[in-house]
């Protein structure tokens, strides 16, 4: 059982061309606004028809341009959670969940009771959507989807309408719920932190095309190209000039660095994550720096550095209470350097 997507959709001034697969896992579509993430989700759900390609879910062909197959949304065995949650305003929570259940009355009452318990909304069952908070609406909408028992679960920015405190709580709750779900989950997000917390695999979409795809932690560790590195949060990227098999000159930083990975001809850039710098001078890849600025955050701070011979700045994320005023040198482990294609 799994999901395979290979589609092309053309618009004036924009073209979506994506291909990926998932196998009984949670997959995140990560990218900036307007990159094509939600459009991809709507193509899978049947709300948008691609111009070309094929979509198969749980061995059922949902769309195949060559075979002239384009199933209606209600024929696709898909549960779709909209950003707005789309609860029926004139129905109570119980009625919203009940309308999605296709069993007999006895089964329906039993399953609804189980879902109200599972999603922690028993005491809200007789309330209307307008009487619910954002988090409560989300849980009610998820309960309604699960009442339908879909073979594929699609979620479009499911946490975007929640405040920071509620978002973190719901992310943890959501991860627990989908762990019990027997099927594929695909969710859209523009938050790399959200993707990292929840997903098993990742597809990074940039300007309508995948920039990287694969196991989530592997993609973050080795994004492979500049676009994917930036979208996953890498602040330090420099053009490079190869010196030897495992050393290069970083043109923007004015320093020579050594890697554990052989440098290939297509590796024209290098990336360093801000958390990976070490304030020690007796380690590999040490270089002299001057502190340009410090930007305090609630739990850590960003330190902007410049190498002795560099022209571009480097970002280092340091501990909140760390005194960096006397830091004159910094190091980066060779294995922490990411070699990137353009």
Q: What is the CATH number of the domain that holds 171?
A: 3.40.50.300
pLDDT of 207 reads: 95
pLDDT higher than 70, residue 1 = no
Residue 27 domain boundaries: 3-226
* Banded pLDDT at 255 (limits 50, 70, 90): very high
Half-sphere exposure of 235 (CA within 13 A, CB side): 14
Same domain, 108 and 187: yes
DSSP state of 337: P
Q: Determine the Cα–Cα distance for residues 88 and 3; give it in Å rounded to an integer.
A: 29
Q: Which of 172, 202, 226 is the last residue of a domain?
A: 226
Q: Are residues 15 and 153 in the same domain?
A: yes
Please tell me the predicted confidence (pLDDT) of residue 134: 84
- Predicted confidence at residue 232, as pLDDT, reads 96
The helix or strand, by DSSP H or E, that contains position 235, with its residue range, turns out to be none
Tell me, yes or no, whether 286 and 183 share the same domain: no
Tokens, residue 25: 């896992």
Asked whether residue 84 falls in the same domain as residue 167, the answer is yes
- Count the domains in the chain: 2
Do 7 and 140 lie in a common domain? yes
Nearby residues of 323 by Cβ (< 8 Å), 6 or more positions away: none
Region 269-274: mean pLDDT is 98
- What whole-number distance in Å separates Cα of residue 34 and Cα of residue 31? 8
Whether 199 and 96 share a structural domain: yes
- Residues 253, 333 within the same domain: yes
Helix, coil or strand: residue 194: helix
Q: What is the DSSP string of 275-328?
A: GGEES-SSSTTEEEEEEEEEEE-SSEEEEEEEETT-SS-EEEEEETT---TT--
Both 175 and 302 in a single domain? no
SS3 85: coil
Are 105 and 248 in the same domain? Answer: no
* Residue 341 burial class via C-beta count within 10 angstroms: exposed 0-12, middle 13-18, buried 19 and up: middle
Same domain assignment for residues 170 and 282: no
Instruction: Express each pLDDT in 78-126 by its tens digit.
Output: 999 887 888 999 999 999 999 888 777 888 888 889 889 888 899 999 9
- On whether the CB atoms of residues 148 and 100 are closer than 8 A, the answer is yes
- Reported as a single tens digit per residue, the pLDDT across 275-286 is 999 998 889 999
pLDDT above 90 (res 223):
yes
Does 78 lie in the same domain as 170? yes
Which structure tokens are listed for 92? Answer: 């109570």
Looking at the fold, whether 195 and 255 belong to one and the same domain comes out as: no
The overall average pLDDT reported for the chain is: 92
- pTM of the full predicted structure? 0.89
- Identify the sign of the CA torsion 265, 268, 273, 278: positive
Q: Domain end: 210, 226, 242, which one?
A: 226
Q: Is the pLDDT of residue 129 over 70?
A: yes
Q: In the listed set 208, 226, 244, which residue is the last one of a domain according to the structure?
A: 226
């Amino acid at each position: 059982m799994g999901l395979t997507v290979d589609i092309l959709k053309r618009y004036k001034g924009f073209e979506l061309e994506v291909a990926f697969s998932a196998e009984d896992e949670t997959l995140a579509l990560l990218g900036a606004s307007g990159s094509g993430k939600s459009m991809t989700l709507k193509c899978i759900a049947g709300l948008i028809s691609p111009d070309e390609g094929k979509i198969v879910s749980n061995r059922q062909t949902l769309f195949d341009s060559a075979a002239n197959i384009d199933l209606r949304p209600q024929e696709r065995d898909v549960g779709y959670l909209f950003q707005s949650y789309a609860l029926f305003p004139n129905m109570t929570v119980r009625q919203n969940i009940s309308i999605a259940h296709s069993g007999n009355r006895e089964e329906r009452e039993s399953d609804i009771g189980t879902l109200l318990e599972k999603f922690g909304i028993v005491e809200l069952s007789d309330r209307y959507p307008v009487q619910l908070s954002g988090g409560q609406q989300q849980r009610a909408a998820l309960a309604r989807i699960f009442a339908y028992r879909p073979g594929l679960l699609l979620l479009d920015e499911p946490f975007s309408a929640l405040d920071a405190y509620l978002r973190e709580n719901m992310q943890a709750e959501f991860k627990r719920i989908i762990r019990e779900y027997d099927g594929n989950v695909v969710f859209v997000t523009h938050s790399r932190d959200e993707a990292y917390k929840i997903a098993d695999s990742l597809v990074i979409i940039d300007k309508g095309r995948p920039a990287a795809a694969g196991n989530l932690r592997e993609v973050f560790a080795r994004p492979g190209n500049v676009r994917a590195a930036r979208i996953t949060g890498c602040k330090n990227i420099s053009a490079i000039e190869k010196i030897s098999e495992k050393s290069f000159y970083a043109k923007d930083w004015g320093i020579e660095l050594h890697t554990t990975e052989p440098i290939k001809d297509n590796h024209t850039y290098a990336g360093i994550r801000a958390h990976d710098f070490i304030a020690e001078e007796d380690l590999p890849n040490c270089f002299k720096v001057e502190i340009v600025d410090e930007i305090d955050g609630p739990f850590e701070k960003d330190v902007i550095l410049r190498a002795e011979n560099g022209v571009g700045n480097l970002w280092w994320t340091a501990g909140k209470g760390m005194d960096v005023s006397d830091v004159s040198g910094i190091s980066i482990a060779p294995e922490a350097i990411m070699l990137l294609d353009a």
